[in-house]
Amino acid sequence: MEHIKRKGLEVFLSGLVLFFLVWGASSYVKGKMGFLGTVISVADAEVLGPKDAVSVSFSNPVIPSEVEKILKIEPATELNIRWSDKNRQMELFPAENWKNSTDYVLSVNGGRNIFGFKFDGQVIFETEALPEVSSMSPAEGEKDVLLGIEDPIIINFDRPLEEYSVKLAFDPMAQFVSEFNEQKTAVKLMPKEELQRGKRYEVSVYLKHRSAPAEEYKKVHGSYFETKPREIENWDNDFAVRLAQAKIYTEPRVFEGKYIDINLKSQVMVLFENGEVLDAYLVSSGKRGMDTPTGTFQVYNKAPKPWSKKYSLFMPYWMALTSSGEYGIHELPEWPGGYKEGANHLGIPVSHGCVRLGVGPAQRTYEWADIGTPIIIHY
C-alpha cells in the first residue's frame, strides 16, 4: 500500500514539474515571460552621469558568458561589466564616458538562464543633459553695446560647471579674458582689445564633460549683439537725419543719473539718463568770436522766464551753466511783445554764447533737468 502511495506521489510531482516546465516554456513562446523565463529591467527614470554605472536586473539567474556574447548597445560604446547577486545583477560601466543627452538601447536577444531557457530583452536608459545657458548679457539682439569692466559679457548657466569644460566662439573672431564666479554657474568675459564698432557679433557656447575628448564639444547656446558705432564724423545736412544720427552715435560720458551732452560740431543736445539716450534736440550755440565755452559744467540755477537787462529780451526756461550766469541754456529769446527770434537758426551757431533750444524741447529739458545736473559741452 505504501509503495502504491509513494509511486503515486512521484508521478504527481513529476507531472507538476512537467506542467511548470511546459507552462514556463509556453509563456515564453507567447512573450509573457513565465517564472522560468527571464525579464530584464533597469531602474525607472534612471538618468546617468558621464561615468555612472547602469544596473541591469534579471528576474532569474543567467549565464554571464552567454549574455556578454550577445549583449548589444546603441549607440555603440565600449563597456566594462561586473556581475553580482548570483548572476541576477549586471553593472555596465563605460570604458570612457556616456555621451550626454543620449538615449541608449541595451539589447539581449538569445540569452540563456540557468534553467536553459532562452530569453530576449531590451532596456532603455538616458544620460543627463548638458548644462544650459539660463541667461546672457548682452541680451540676444541687443544694439549699441559697449563692453567695459563694469559691463562685461556674462553667461549664466542653470547649474554648476565643475565637471564640464566651456568653449566660446565669436564671429568675427575676438580674444577674451574670462573668469568664473565662485559657484561655477557664470562666466564673465572681457575682450583683450576693443571690439570692432558698429559690428554684429555672433556668440556660440559649447560644452563637454571634462573627461570627454575635444570632438565631443556640443553647442548649447547661440546669440548675437551689435556693438555701438563710433561717433559720426560727417553730420547730415538734413536736421531730422542729424538728430537720428545723434541718438545712435553719441556715446555717454556719464553713466549714472542725468546729464546733458552738447555737441558744438553737430549743434545737437542729447539728454542721457543712466547711460541711456532719452532724446536729442537741435541747438544754436555761440557764433564765432562769441563761442560757447567747452568743458564740464552743471545746472546752477533755473528760472521759467527771466528778463535779460543786457539784451532787453526774455530768456524762457533758463538754466545757467556757469556760476556767474553769463552762459546758459534757454528757449529762443523773446521780445516783450511775444515775438521769438531764431527758430530758423537752430542747428547753426548764431547766439552770443548761450545754448538756444526750440519751443517744446526747451520746456521738456527744463522740467527734466535738476539743479546740479552735469552738462558736458564739446566738439
Task: Select the CATH number that applies to the domain covering 133-227 from these four: 2.60.40.1220, 3.40.50.2300, 2.130.10.10, 3.30.1330.120.
Answer: 2.60.40.1220
Spatial contact of 280 and 250, defined as CB atoms under 8 Å apart: yes
Q: What phi, psi does 158 have (nearest 5°)?
A: -80, -10
Q: What is the pLDDT of residue 29?
A: 32
The closest of 314, 371, 347 to 239, measured between CA atoms, is: 347
Long-range contacts made by residues 342-347, C-beta under 8 angstroms, separation at least 24? 342/284, 345/284, 346/239, 346/267, 346/282, 346/283, 346/284, 347/239, 347/242, 347/267, 347/282, 347/283, 347/284
Band (9; pLDDT cuts 50, 70, 90): very low
Domain boundaries, the chain: 37-127, 133-227, 239-378
Average pLDDT, the chain: 87
Q: What contacts 155, CB < 8 A, 6 or more positions away?
A: 133, 136, 168, 186, 187, 189, 205, 221
> What mean pLDDT is predicted for residues 256-283?
97
| Distance of alpha carbon 152 from alpha carbon 145, whole angstroms | 10
Q: Is 163 left (phi over 0), alpha (psi -120 to 50) or beta?
A: alpha
- 47, 70, 125 from 44: Cα distances, Å: 9, 24, 9
| In the chain, % of residues over pLDDT 90 | 63
Band (349; pLDDT cuts 50, 70, 90): very high
Q: Is 197 helix (H, G, I), strand (E, B) or coil?
A: coil
Fold of 37-127: Immunoglobulin-like (2.60.40)
| Strand ranges for 172-263 from DSSP E | 176-180, 186-191, 200-209, 218-227, 258-263
> What mean pLDDT is predicted for residues 164-173?
95
Q: What is the pLDDT of residue 345?
A: 87
- 126, 299, 362 from 255: Cα distances, Å: 49, 18, 23
| pLDDT single digits (tens) 93-138 | 999 888 888 999 999 998 888 888 888 889 999 998 899 999 999 9
Q: Quick one: cell of 310?
A: 543786457
Spatial contact of 50 and 163, defined as CB atoms under 8 Å apart: yes
| Distance of alpha carbon 218 from alpha carbon 205, whole angstroms | 8
| pLDDT single digits (tens) 236-251 | 889 999 999 999 889 8
DSSP-derived secondary structure letter, 26: H
| Distance of alpha carbon 116 from alpha carbon 122, whole angstroms | 19
- 88, 234, 348, 378 from 237: Cα distances, Å: 86, 9, 11, 20
Q: What phi, psi does 335 have (nearest 5°)?
A: -70, 160
- Report CA Rg, the chain: 40
**Residues forming beta bridges with residue 221, ordered by sequence position:** 205
Distance of CA 169 to the CA centre of its chain: 14
| pLDDT single digits (tens) 205-221 | 999 988 888 888 999 99
Range with lowest mean pLDDT among 21-30, 50-59, 206-215: 21-30
Q: What phi, psi does 375 have (nearest 5°)?
A: -130, 120
Query: Where does 99-256 have alpha helices with state H?
Result: 239-249
Q: What contacts 123, CB < 8 A, 6 or more positions away?
A: 40, 41, 42, 56, 105, 106
| CATH code of domain 239-378 | 2.40.440.10
pTM over 0.75: no
Domains 37-127 and 133-227 share a fold: yes
Q: What is the pLDDT of residue 343?
A: 86
Element (H, E) at 364: helix 361-368
